[in-house]
Amino acid sequence: MQVITSFQSRTVVMSNSDIDTDQIIPARFLTTTERTGLGKHLFSEWRYNADGTNNDAFILNTQEAEGCFVLVAGDNFGCGSSREHAPWSLIDFGFRAVISTSMADIFRSNALKNGLLPIVVSEEFHKNLLNNPGVKVTIDLEQCSVSVANGGTENFAINNFSHYCLMNGVDELGFLQQHLPQIEKFERRDA
């Protein structure tokens, strides 16, 4: 996994609340056995017209969205299924962070494991982002802070362990494997 420290980007805003995993990536694209290549299906239902052509009105198909890798979304982003294909498709498309006021539990956990930052901010801070699409933000993972070019910085919470994994580019499996002796001991509990 890639080491993340800090980065800058303009934002793309999708202000709808409750954007669910079937919107992020519809089920018909889940027949893949790979993790990669899902970016083309991201928000497929909204991004493409019935005949397969681009829906030019959709934000990700506009000039404004080019080169942006921070998505600002409405409340409760990522609700629905446990499909890790949701963060995989966001990452494959180029996103590195999603900012909202709340995120569904499983989505958040999946995002962290893949280096996509799920950033939960206050309503006030969020409102400023919603009202200023395309504004430049700086995300500093070391400080767990997000700053907006038009003023304002806010800290966000990431549990210490995920923070460590993201900053060092390591995954969680190694940690679990170190505890195999305790796992074996636990398994003997009823024996």
Partner 1 sequence: MSAKTLYEKIWEQHIVVEATDDHPAVLYVDLHLIHEVTSPQAFSMLRERGLPVRRPDLTLATPDHSTPTKAELLYAEIPAGPAREQIYTLLANCEEFGVPIYDLKSPMRGIVHVIGPEVGATQPGKTIVCGDSHTSTHGAFGALAFGIGTTEVGHVFATQTLLQSRSKTMQVNVKGELPPGVTAKDLILAIIGKIGVSGGTGHVIEYRGEAIRALNMDERMTVCNMSIEAGARAGLIAPDETTFNYLQGRALVPQGAEWHAALERWKELRTDEEANFDKSVDIDATQLVPMITYGTNPGMVMPVDGHVPALTGDKAYEQALTYMDLKPEQSLLGQKVDVVFVGSCTNSRISDLRAVATALKGRKVASNTQMLIVPGSQATKHEAEAEGLDTIFIAAGAQWRESGCSMCLGMNGDNVGRGEYSVSTSNRNFEGRQGVGARTLLASPVTAAAAAVEGCVADPRVVFAD
Using a 10 angstrom Cβ sphere, with 0-12 exposed, 13-18 middle and 19 or more buried, the burial of residue 13 is: buried
Whole-number minimum distance, CB 108 to partner 1, in Å? 9
SS3 assignment, position 145: strand
Whole-number minimum distance, CB 30 to partner 1, in Å? 5
**Residue 5 or 164 with smaller CB distance to partner 1:** 164
Contact status: 53 vs partner 1 (CB under 8 A): no
Whole-number minimum distance, CB 179 to partner 1, in Å? 6
Q: How many CB atoms are closer than 10 A to CB 1? A: 12
Contact status: 23 vs partner 1 (CB under 8 A): yes
In which region does residue 169 sit, left (phi positive, over 0), alpha (psi from -120 to 50) or beta (all else)? left
Distance CA 83, CA 62 (A): 27
**Residue 46 or 136 with smaller CB distance to partner 1:** 46
Span interacting with partner 1, options 4-12, 59-67, 78-86, 141-149, rule CB under 8 A = 78-86
Of residues 35, 61, 135, 138, which one binds partner 1 by CB under 8 A? 35
Contact status: 186 vs partner 1 (CB under 8 A): yes
Distance CA 174, CA 176 (A): 5
Q: In what order do the strands lie in the sheet with 153-155?
A: 117-120, 97-100, 70-73, 6-14, 136-140, 145-148, 153-155
Whole-number minimum distance, CB 147 to partner 1, in Å? 26
Cβ proximity of 80 and 20 under 8 Å = yes
Residues shown for the chain = 191
Which residues contribute to the site for partner 1 (CB under 8 A)? Answer: 15-18, 20, 22-23, 26-28, 30-35, 45, 50, 74-76, 79-84, 102, 104-106, 109-110, 113-114, 159-161, 164, 171-173, 175-177, 179-180, 182-183, 186-187
